[in-house]
Structure 1
Amino acid sequence: MNSICIYCGSNPGNRPAYVERAMALGDRIAREGLRLVYGGGNVGLMGAVANAVLEAGGEVTGVIPQQLVDWEVAHPGLTELVVVGSMHERKMRMFDLADGFVALPGGFGTMEEIFEMLTWRQLGIGDKPCAFLDIEDFYAPLIGMIDRMVAERFLHPEQRADLWYGDDIDALLAWMRAYEPAQASKWLDEKRRSVMR
């Protein structure tokens, strides 16, 4: 585990705890010697987590489409800013650069990005850990929906068990460092064998 990709809002949200916890996570990432990979913005929770990493002496790689650079939302003080042509390129580049993925509170973009990583893992495209760091129960309804997907048999229990959810930064980082995709890989291997029969 050398780098962590953070998906989060380009807005700060309406509770001080969102920014406070984003900054706490950024500070911890730097102190753990990890590189932050994120969307390259200087606003909202994105800017908060990046600034916290930088202020603690850490390294930050931002990946941002040219369109957003043109809108003047790119962070000017990153260790590295990678400018790409599209959102699709952005997600692929972030996937290549990161060893794991964490979702903080956010909107459509945050949901789309973390769920694409979960889908890629489900399909065997990647085997990197994915997690939701909850703040003020922001993700509780979503995790409830995921649990319902399991109950209604749209998602396998092994896939749910392979997803971390909680509010403890220490526990999150410990889980990511120790992560082995045994549950999801076992399910995927069984699925492949059944298709090949």
Structure 2
Amino acid sequence: LGGDEFVVMLLGLEAEPDSAVAQAKLVGEKILAVLSKPYQIAGIEHHGTASIGITQFRDQRDTVGELLQQADLAMYQGKAAGRNAMRFFDVEMQAAVTSRAALEVDLRQALLHGEFLLYYQPQMDGEGRVTGAEGLLRWVHPRRGLVLPVDFISMAEETGLILPLGQWILEAACMQLVVWAERPETAQLTIAVNVSIR
């Protein structure tokens, strides 16, 4: 398919799905073993790793493009597992990818439509007096309801959306400080927020 990707099609496997999977796994392990052997180029020893994605095509409902996409998806799961790995495509994997793509679209829309809130958790001194607050990000999704950061921050990091999101957090925290500064009982409070390394 390219400089470092190729397809192996196995024909004549067992009709029973579990047996076919076992046969494909055995062939995949042999390929991984061969590709992981050291090799020489210009007298220097090199080592390679491979990631294998496997999909089955018992029936002809899937197009060649769909089968290649499924194998590719499984291969990237293998790469994510640390390379030199083999993964089988399954429906749950596709569902996870579809869900992740929808989450990314929703996250972009959330930034455009202002669906984020900062909740403030009090910070106290040793004597129990409130000295400030930590701003905790929450996403108020129109269909999912309240979404916690654990469900979307990694996506924001990976897509670069963490930068505009971080900007929004800083601006929202500063606006809250302005509100607090107008009242004598809250004028001395501070706000802490987490900021991405990016």
- Choose between structure 1 and 2 for higher RCO, CA contacts under 8 A separated by at least 6 residues: 1
For the criterion TM > 0.5, the same-fold answer is no
| Larger fraction in helix | 1
With normalisation by structure 2, the TM-score equals 0.24
If you compute each CA radius of gyration, which structure gives the higher value, 1 or 2?
A: 2
Per the normalisation by structure 1, the TM-score is 0.24
More strand, by proportion: 2
